[in-house]
Structure 1
Amino acid sequence: MVPPRTGPLGEGLHTLEVAGLALRYHVHGTGPVCVAHPGGPGIAWEYLRAEELEKRLTMVYLEPAGTGDSDRLPTHPHGYTRALYSHHLAALIDHLPVGRPHLLGHSHGGFVAQYHAVHHPDQLAGVVLYESAPGNGPEFGEEMIRRVGEFAARQATRPEVQAVMDAFASIPAIADDAAMMAAAKGVLPAYVADYWADAPRWSRLQDALRATYISGLDRNGAPDPFDDREALGALKVPVLVVAGRHDEVCGVRWSQELHELLPTSRLLLLEHSGHFGHLEEPKEFAREIASFVGTGSEQG
């Protein structure tokens, strides 16, 4: 029988102080270590918990600064750049008693994970870019608008769809936590391959979501755009790119482009998933992620 872990990788909630901020992280599961960074920015970590994956890996779920129960910056809601999130990831990884863990980033967390892989490759045995994209310029927004419009057209006979579209329309005006929470819950039906096939299940996820308003601007209130195409082409860290076939936000277009850019990548398309493959196809997701992590694990 394997004795329970203690210390920084003990099961449950932990707190790590970085530059005066208390950052919370949660450890669940057994096996090689994989650090997970949630999306949003501003969506609390619970939605990303992958219990099927925890049967194969030790998952370390970070609550990023400004999100969930971690501390906020003095400049909140501004200042949460990828460089800041990466700095906090570096501190967490250094804190963990492992050699080089894997890093999984979901959605906006994927943007952070690829930044971290480019700037701190020596910390990582590999990275999972889960519903990520190579950049967040105008083309990213245009593609999302197009895909969400297609979603609305497919579901046009459902009266509930108007509320989903209203939630998307509210996003540019979000300025506080309550509005962020309402929008996150309101758009969720578009994030699932077939929300109405099991609406009670997905409504429970909606009810459980916690969200914080993060502006996406730097400390001075300026935008923080990125285009990682050139940098990713030189990345040597092994990468698994994961996308749901029916994701309307960070869709297959971006995952295929990431795969083509990255010299050491594999591409996993989850054919029956939207944005939440770890919940929509949990067994396949867990099998493929664990296989990738196990193959490249260099942990001590």
Structure 2
Amino acid sequence: MPHPHASAPLAAGAHSLVIDGVRQQVRVAGQGPCCIVHAGGPGIDAGYLRMPLLERHLTMVYLDPIGTGASGRLPSHPMGYTVDRFADQVLAFVEATGLDTPFLLGHSHGAFVVLQAALKRPGATSGLILHAGAAWTGGDFMAAASAEIDRFVDRNVGTREAEEVRKAWAALPEIRSDEDYTAVLRGLLPAYVSDHQRCRDVLDVLRSQLCATMLIGDRTPFDVRDALPGLAVPTLVLAGAADFILGPRHAAILAGTLPHARLVTFGSSGHFAHLEEPDAFADAVIRFTQDPGSGLP
């Protein structure tokens, strides 16, 4: 694989290279400045994160996170998939390809990963795009999410979606296989969007594309709040107003703590603003990448 720079981004198509003994699979599409995309989960490949509107302005490099999709697995699989290990993989990929300070876009757990990568090596990126991210997952994180699930079920009592979500949430502690994990995530999807009736097309796409691998980290809460004030990297924080698990409350902490952050909230989105409000999402990202420092403190 060539070692391109910002003026000569990766060629379009699929690429595979070995980093630290693990195969890293990527798909490249679009033109313009480079933006590396890391999916969520952990354990979900990049298929659901394709963003064709952004590909008109950016060279989008979609990583299959290690352990997922066509990427390789750690020798300790399914153990060892910490945020720190994923971040090291991203940084090693940037170094191996010679990419010159790409943008880093992470969704959900992927936002933890790219944030950790920037904290480890701030000079490796021109800017961070934290899509449905958080600065920490401790305290009442899961209790608050569980309460939101209860509210979803109550609002939609008697519907198929409410029963699917209720059963899937209750099954989380029982996950023992990739098939279990995929089934649970698909069952929870109606709660992840702003309006499961309005977003039927989005849900159909997600159900068809979402395939999960059960990965296990170190089981400690993610918490980088103390480190954020020192991160002098332009950052775009993106949140769906109806995101039950990583919504405005978490986005406000990120935007209020990072010294060079701007916040955009999507009023008609849940966890998947890039699918629920694709035009507004793309506009926010394009404006940021065209001038990362504009409007920042």
Q: Distance in 2 between matches of 1:212 and 1:8?
A: 30
TM-score in terms of structure 2 length:
0.92
Aligned partners of 1:153, 1:57: CA distance in 2, in Å?
A: 42
Rounded to whole Å, the distance in 1 between the matches of 2:108 and 2:34 is 20
1:1-300 equivalence runs, <5 A: 9-217=10-218, 223-296=219-292
Measured at CA, do residues 289 and 240 of structure 1 come closer, stay the same or move farther in structure 2, by a change above 3 Å? same
Query: How far is the alpha carbon of 1:6 from its aligned partner?
Result: 11
Report the Cα offset of residue 201 of structure 1: 4.4
One-letter amino acid of the counterpart of residue 253, structure 2: E
Query: Given that residues 8 and 95 in structure 1 are in contact (C-alpha distance below 8 angstroms), is that contact kept between their aligned partners in structure 2?
Result: no
Q: Which moves more between the two structures, 192-201 or 53-62? A: 192-201
Task: Work out the CA distance in 2 between the residues paired with 1:205 and 1:54.
Answer: 20
What is the deviation of 1:123? 0.3
Q: Is the 8 A contact 2:9 2:59 kept in 1?
A: no
- Structure 1 regions of 5+ residues with no counterpart? 218-222
Q: What SS does the aligned partner of 2:14 have?
A: strand
| Cα offset, 1:159, TM superposition | 3.3
> Aligned residue for 2:3?
none
Instruction: Decide which moves more: 155-164 or 120-129.
Output: 155-164
Which amino acid in structure 1 is aligned with residue 90 of structure 2? L
Deviations 1:234-259 (A, max 9, x none): 11011110000010111110001111
Considering only aligned residues, what root-mean-square deviation do their CA atoms show, in Å? 1.8
- Give the letter aligned to residue 87 of structure 2: S
State the Cα distance separating 1:294 from its structure 2 match.
1.4
Distance change (3 Å), C-alpha of 1:234 and 1:55: same
Q: So what's the TM-score if we normalise by structure 1?
A: 0.91
Task: Please tell me whether the aligned partners of residues 39 and 110 of structure 1 are also in contact (alpha carbons under 8 angstroms).
Answer: yes
**Higher RCO (CA 8 Å, separation ≥ 6 residues):** 1
More displaced stretch, 248-257 vs 198-207: 198-207
- Contact 1:8-1:96 within 8 A present in 2 as well: no
Deviation at 1:96, TM superposition (A): 3.3
On the 8 A contact 2:104/2:114 being kept in 1, the answer is yes
- Is the contact between residue 47 and residue 205 of structure 1 (CA under 8 Å) also seen in structure 2? yes
In 1, distance between residues paired with 2:96 and 2:290? 21
Contact 2:101–2:125 (8 Å) recurs in 1: yes
Question: Helix, strand or coil for the counterpart of 2:16?
Answer: strand
Q: Equivalent residue of 1:14, what SS? A: strand
- The CA deviation at 1:97 is 4.3
Task: For 2:187 and 2:8, locate their aligned partners in 1 and report how far apart those are by CA, in whole Å.
Answer: 39
Sequence identity, in percent?
40
Q: In terms of mean alpha carbon deviation, does 6-15 or 135-144 score higher?
A: 6-15
CA displacement 1:7-55 (0-9 Å, x = unmatched): 8711111112111111101111111111110000001110011111111
- Check whether the contact 2:202–2:275 (CA below 8 A) recurs between aligned residues: no
Q: Given that residues 185 and 207 in structure 1 are in contact (C-alpha distance below 8 angstroms), is that contact kept between their aligned partners in structure 2? A: no
Q: Which moved more, 1:176-185 or 1:147-156?
A: 147-156
Whole-angstrom distance in 2 between the partners of 1:41 and 1:19: 20
Q: Quick one: distance in 1 between partners of 2:149 and 2:246?
A: 11
Work out the number of aligned pairs and report it.
288
Give the residue type in structure 2 aligned to 1:234: G
Q: Partner of 1:220 in structure 2?
A: none
Gapped regions of structure 2 (runs ≥ 5):
1-5
* Change in CA separation of 1:233 and 1:21 when aligned onto 2, cut-off 3 Å: same
Aligned-partner Cα distance in 2 for 1:236–1:198: 37
